[in-house]
Amino acid sequence: MRLTAAVATALTLSLALAGAAGAGDGTLPFAAGPDTVRTNLWLTQALFADIVREAAAVLPADSSRVALRPLVKHAAQPLFEPAAFAELTAAGHEVLLDETDVAATKSTTPVEADYEFRYYIEDVDLSYPRVGRRFGLWRTWLDREFQAVVQVSVLEKATGRLLLDKRMTRGYADRIPAGHLEAVDAATYGFTTADPAEGGLRSILEELVVVGALTGLVAVYFANSGN
């Protein structure tokens, strides 16, 4: 099945709606302005695109027919495919989609391609590991950490030669204002949303006790100073 530009456009619609800023050159949907706060959907595809870009470097410079073949179904596949399509077509290749089960025992009609781009999405993980608070109560900022791990194999169909077999990891970390959390977080997929590290109710109560104790000490100090 050929992955056409129309299909890729539909697949990347969620990214556009997620607020990815910057139009780029109209070919790759992963350009963003320098002051843009990237959404979690945008980051997922951007990390995937970087993985595909490195893997595609083993392909010949001339135009080839490349079949995308997921080894295992993953919830992130609808984000990986448009990222791979964008990178491979930008490199001048024709992209095909082959969803044949590699472990299938019965014969299937193979997709006619020069190369097979096999991938297994091992992990996509988002977390907000640290939260800054004012007076122990109000969030002021959140640290965000993102990681994608994909096993990629590139096979030359005519010779059976394995051009690449590599576990590839990409990560991203930044700090966002607390007021931006609702805008960047996305419940579309389980890996594009996460609960910020709050430290628990006990931690918050302990901070309140500390603030209260300090307030009491200040009051006592000024009371004694007045006398």
Q: Give dist(CA 50, CA 84) in Å, integer.
A: 9
Q: Whole-angstrom Cα distance, residue 206 to residue 204?
A: 5
pLDDT for the residue 141: 95
Tell if the pTM clears 0.75, that is, is over it: no
Q: Is 31 exposed, middle or buried (0-12, 13-18, 19+ CB in 10 A)?
A: middle
For 29, residues 6+ apart whose C-beta sits below 8 A from its C-beta are 12, 15, 16, 20, 45, 82, 86
Query: Quick one: pLDDT band at residue 227, thresholds 50, 70, 90?
Result: low
> Cα–Cα distances in Å, from 113 out to 96, 133, 159, 181, 189?
8, 55, 12, 43, 31
Percent of the chain with pLDDT over 90: 59
Count the helices and strands in the chain (H runs, E runs).
6, 6
Neighbours of 170 (CB within 10 A): 17
Of the candidates 171, 182, 170, 176, the residue with the CA atom closest to the CA atom of residue 145 = 171
The whole-angstrom separation of Cα 23 and Cα 21 is 7
- If you ran DSSP here, which 8-state letter would residue 137 be given? T
For 97-147, the pLDDT digits (tens) are 987 765 554 445 567 899 999 999 999 999 999 999 887 778 999 999 999
Q: What is the pLDDT of residues 8-65, one digit of tens each?
A: 333 333 333 333 333 333 334 456 666 678 899 999 999 999 999 999 999 998 899 9
Contact assessment for residue 20 and residue 78, using Cβ atoms and an 8 Å cutoff: no
Do residues 152 and 118 make contact, with C-beta atoms less than 8 angstroms apart?
yes
Tell me what pLDDT residue 209 has: 60
Lowest model confidence (mean pLDDT) among 51-55, 171-175, 192-196, 200-204: 200-204
User: Is 191 in contact with 126 (CB distance < 8 Å)?
Assistant: yes
Name, of 62-66, 206-210, 222-226, the range with top average pLDDT: 62-66
Q: What is the mean pLDDT of residues 138-163?
A: 96
- Look at residue 100 in the predicted model and tell me its pLDDT: 75
Mean pLDDT confidence for 152-170? 97
Predicted confidence band of residue 193 (pLDDT cuts 50, 70, 90): very high
pLDDT, residue 169, reads 98
Structure tokens that stand for 195 in this block:
């609960």
pLDDT of residue 137: 79
